[in-house]
Amino acid sequence: MEEQGALRRVATLVAGGVAPAEIFSAVAAEVGQVLRADHTNLVRFEPDDTATVVGYWSDPGCRQIMPPLGGRWPIEAPSVTALVRGTARPARMTDADYARSTSAIGIWARIHRIRCVVGFPVMVEGRLWGAMNLYSQIEPQPGVTEDRMSEFVQLVGMAIANAQNHSDLLASRARVVAAADESRRRLERDLHDGAQQELVALALKLRTAEGSVPPGLCGLKEQLADVIRELSGILGHLQEVSSGTVPAILTSTGLRPALRSLARRCPIPVDLDVRVSGRLPDPIEVAVYHAVAEALSNTARYAHASAAGVSVAADDRAVRLSVRDDGVGGAAPGEGIGLVGLKDRVEALGGGMRIISPDGGGTALLVDIPWR
């Protein structure tokens, strides 16, 4: 029953997505208590033939002899750690095995009169990741201890896999967002260097032609002026198409001026409150900028609002952003592409986004991004 209770506690931590470091300590303690060990620890195998201590526990009645968290031990034979790493199977050694050992662990075990060490491999998604070790003054019954360690160690493997999958997922979303940014930047550059330049040149030629129309041909002159006006309109459209990208003003002068220019371009009055001192990391500034741009353009297009408010505040841990309007409400991500894309961008940075938009009650877009 004691063991079942311990397993349940660990499983609850794993299911709750608790950080692996916390789970390592919890498992070291639960296993130590359930199996009446003197000490336990969890180590991660490193590529350079060392093992890093990531969790440990000692019986309160024992002297503190465990190496500190983050401490690195060489993996030298003969030792339980070397056996586990070599075979990916449980291993045990007793003081008789260690009697003449010259490995660092062997000497350490002799000095501290450890009678028996049992090691159990930690597998993560089928690959050997590290080991859980149990140190005892009395030799535990062979087989039984290993059996009982096995379930705890499986939970450790799951916790590590969860955390890795989570950070892999974040990294892959960040890559998707970065790739989309890059292709948009390329589109902007192509438009700017290509079509836009050609249209500007064409407009200049037309102006010259307009200027050299003989005085008698008023109709032709007016026609040319019309063409030039239309051309300017097309240039304006092209500029709008490419203005979805990160503006130069953001990169060169930072959030405050960039947000001010967004607010000025909005057709309704925007109350802007920016409490950010200094510059934030690039991807965060870009995310905040896009969030405000998307929210204000949604407000202008759908909200029928009379005013909007933007507030951005950064403390030493997170950036918090809110964009509110007093419009018709009813905003929902998933109906368009703007809010969904924004959510991806924010979550790729480890942040969160919420939309509160009751029918008739205005809309609030709330974004939190941790930055340290």
Ligand X SMILES: Nc1ncnc2c1ncn2[C@@H]1O[C@H](COP(=O)(O)OP(=O)(O)O)[C@@H](O)[C@H]1O
Which residues make up the interface to ligand X (CB under 6 A)? 294, 298-299, 302-303, 325, 327-333, 335-340, 363
218-229 per-residue burial string, b: 16 or more CB within 10 A, e: under 16: eeebeebeeebe
Q: Which of ligand X, Mg ion, none does residue 328 bind (CB under 5 to 8 Å by kind)?
A: ligand X
Q: Which of ligand X, Mg ion, none does residue 146 bind (CB under 5 to 8 Å by kind)?
A: none
Task: State phi, psi for 63 to the nearest 5 degrees.
Answer: -70, 150
Q: How far apart are CA 222 and CA 219, in angstroms?
A: 5
Q: Which of Mg ion, ligand X, none does residue 242 bind (CB under 5 to 8 Å by kind)?
A: none
Q: Which of ligand X, Mg ion, none does residue 27 bind (CB under 5 to 8 Å by kind)?
A: none
Least Å from the CB of residue 364 to ligand X: 9
Q: Which of Mg ion, ligand X, none does residue 335 bind (CB under 5 to 8 Å by kind)?
A: ligand X
Q: Which of ligand X, Mg ion, none does residue 171 bind (CB under 5 to 8 Å by kind)?
A: none
Per CB under 5 A, does 363 bind Mg ion?
no
Q: Which of 203, 292, 205, 295 is nearest to 250 (CA)?
A: 292
Q: Which of Mg ion, ligand X, none does residue 38 bind (CB under 5 to 8 Å by kind)?
A: none
Least Å from the CB of residue 298 to ligand X: 3
Size of the site for Mg ion (CB under 5 A): 2
Distances, alpha carbon 93 to alpha carbons 87, 110, 139, 349, in Å: 15, 12, 9, 46
Token output for 271: 């109350």
Part in contact with Mg ion (CB under 5 A); list of ranges 122-130, 282-290, 298-306, 350-358: 298-306
Residue 71 or residue 338: which is nearer to ligand X going by CB?
338
Per CB under 5 A, does 298 bind Mg ion?
yes
Residue 131 or residue 263: which is nearer to ligand X going by CB?
263
Per CB under 5 A, does 78 bind Mg ion?
no
Residue 103 or residue 299: which is nearer to ligand X going by CB?
299
Q: How far apart are CA 39 and CA 62, in angstroms?
A: 8
Per CB under 5 A, does 254 bind Mg ion?
no
Residue 44 or residue 343: which is nearer to ligand X going by CB?
343
The terminus-to-terminus CA distance of the chain in angstroms comes to 42
Least Å from the CB of residue 294 to ligand X: 6
Residue 298 or residue 363: which is nearer to Mg ion going by CB?
298
- The DSSP annotation for 296-335 comes to HHHIIIII--S-EEEEEEE-SSEEEEEEEE-S-----TTS
Token output for 322: 């809110």
Q: Is 102 exposed, middle or buried (CB count within 10 Å of its CB: 0-12, 13-18, 19+)? A: exposed
* Mode of pairing for the β-strands spanning 91-94 and 127-136: unpaired
Distances, alpha carbon 26 to alpha carbons 38, 61, 194, 279, 283, in Å: 15, 18, 61, 39, 35
Q: Which of 277, 359, 358, 261 is nearest to 310 (CA)?
A: 261
Q: Which of Mg ion, ligand X, none does residue 331 bind (CB under 5 to 8 Å by kind)?
A: ligand X
Least Å from the CB of residue 295 to ligand X: 7
Residue 237 or residue 301: which is nearer to ligand X going by CB?
301
Residue 39 or residue 343: which is nearer to ligand X going by CB?
343
Q: Which of ligand X, Mg ion, none does residue 325 bind (CB under 5 to 8 Å by kind)?
A: ligand X
Per CB under 5 A, does 338 bind Mg ion?
yes
Q: Are 358 and 325 in contact (CB under 8 A)?
A: no
Residue 182 or residue 335: which is nearer to ligand X going by CB?
335
Token output for 95: 């003081």
Token output for 46: 């490193």
Residue 43 or residue 339: which is nearer to ligand X going by CB?
339
Q: Which of 147, 46, 131 is nearest to 88 (CA)?
A: 131
Least Å from the CB of residue 196 to Mg ion: 25
Least Å from the CB of residue 313 to ligand X: 21
Which residue in the shown chain puts its C-beta closest to ligand X? 336
Instruction: Kindly list the residues in this chain that would bind Mg ion in the complex (CB under 5 A).
Output: 298, 338
